[in-house]
Amino acid sequence: MAVKKLWRCNVCNDIHYGIKGPEVCPTCGAKNAFMLIDYPEAKKVIIDRGDRLDQVDQLLEVWERFAEGKPFRLNPDAEFVKTLARGELENQRNHGLKYCPCRITTGNLEEDLDLICPCNFFIQPVYRETGECWCGLFVGRK
Amino acid sequence: MSEQGGRLIFFWGRECPHCAKLHPVVDEVSEELVKAGGQGITQLEVWHSDENAKLMRSYGDVLKRACGGSLGVPSLYNERTKKALCGMRTTKQQILDLAKE
């Protein structure tokens, strides 16, 4: 698999992590403006303004937005969803990333990146069979 | 107390809702196994114990297959037969079969 690299828009400093930079900058609309940069530059360009997604309500909002217009929706069981949100925040505090509480990390970061929620659940056998993602956070619209 | 190497283990996560739902079923099967003179089910939480997570990873090949690709909870592993069950749809009968095989 091709290795992802870092790219910066020379017009607005939008940062992209991927095999190649976007032809049109999604932030400012400039064309063919992305050039290859390195990790230290990217880290400096992204200014930490202190924004964090570390509250249950914030996660619920992000998940709702993610499910908009999709063939799945957020599980209507509010308590179920909040338990998952609390678990992800615990995992972020203890293990560094919002890993799915119904998975477990392998210790290999590249492999574990697949366990960050929302994961790519469309490829999971359980999603094909039941219309739900592994942990049940997202369920099919009926 | 079950001996390491011959246990039936229930791996679960504290914030995993499916694990919470399966817990009473596992308790019930465990009690039945003990009443029948056998070993109960060893319950190990994996997100808040590095030791338990490490043990689960050591059975990773079998568990990943049972979970459909990646390690997941709730899951059960029989150390004697090296067979596993994984996921929210695990039934009481499946757990009994896994224990008795």
For residue range A75-110, list pLDDT tens digits in order. 999 999 999 999 999 999 999 999 999 999 999 999
Task: Provide the pLDDT confidence category of residue B79 given band limits of 50, 70 and 90.
Answer: very high
Q: Which residues of chain A have a CB within 8 Å of the CB of B19?
A: 102
What is the per-residue pLDDT for B84? 97
What is the DSSP code (8-state) at residue A28?
A: T
Domain map (residue ranges) of chain B: 8-100
Domain count, chain A: 2
Q: Do both A34 and A76 map to the same domain?
A: no
DSSP per-residue letters across A101-142: TTB---S-HHHHGGGBSS--GGGSHHHHHHSB-TTSSEEE--
Would you state the torsion angle of the CA atoms of residues A139, B91, B55, A124, taken in this order, to the nearest 10 degrees?
-30
Is B23 in the A-facing interface, judged by CB distances under 8 Å?
A: no
Q: How many Cβ pairs closer than 8 A exist between chain A and B?
A: 72
Q: Do both A80 and A112 map to the same domain?
A: yes
Q: Do both A75 and A129 map to the same domain?
A: yes
Cβ separation A102–B13 shorter than 8 A: yes
The ipTM is: 0.89
What are A139's strand-pairing partners?
A: A73, A132
For residue range B11-40, list pLDDT tens digits in order. 999 999 999 999 999 999 999 999 999 999
Q: Do both A26 and A73 map to the same domain?
A: no
**H or E stretch including B9?**
strand B8-12
Residues in Cβ contact with A89 at an 8 Å cutoff, skipping those fewer than 6 apart: A54, A55, A56, A59, A98
In-domain check, residue A100:
yes
Cβ separation B70–A114 shorter than 8 A: yes
Out of B11, B57, B69, the one facing A107 most closely (by C-beta) is: B57
What are A112's strand-pairing partners?
A: none
Of the CATH numbers 3.60.21.10, 3.40.30.10, 3.30.470.20, 3.30.460.80, which one belongs to the domain with range B8-100?
A: 3.40.30.10
CA distance B26 to B96: 9
The answer to whether A74 and A138 are in contact (CB under 8 A) is yes
The answer to whether A87 and B13 are in contact (CB under 8 A) is yes
- pLDDT at B56 exceeding the cut of 50: yes
**Pairing, β B83-86 against β B8-12:** unpaired
Average pLDDT, chain B: 94
Is B79 in the A-facing interface, judged by CB distances under 8 Å?
A: no
Out of A101, A106, A126, the one facing B16 most closely (by C-beta) is: A101
Q: Is B82 exposed, middle or buried (0-12, 13-18, 19+ CB in 10 A)?
A: exposed
Give me the residues of chain A with pLDDT under 70, please: none
Cβ separation A91–B87 shorter than 8 A: no
In-domain check, residue A51:
no
Nearest to A98 by CA among A123, A77, A115: A115
In-domain check, residue A35:
yes
Out of B48, B69, B72, the one facing A102 most closely (by C-beta) is: B72
What is the per-residue pLDDT for B1? 46
Q: Do both A73 and A15 map to the same domain?
A: no
Is A78 in the B-facing interface, judged by CB distances under 8 Å?
A: no
Structural domain including A129 reads 56-140
CA distance A102 to A87: 9
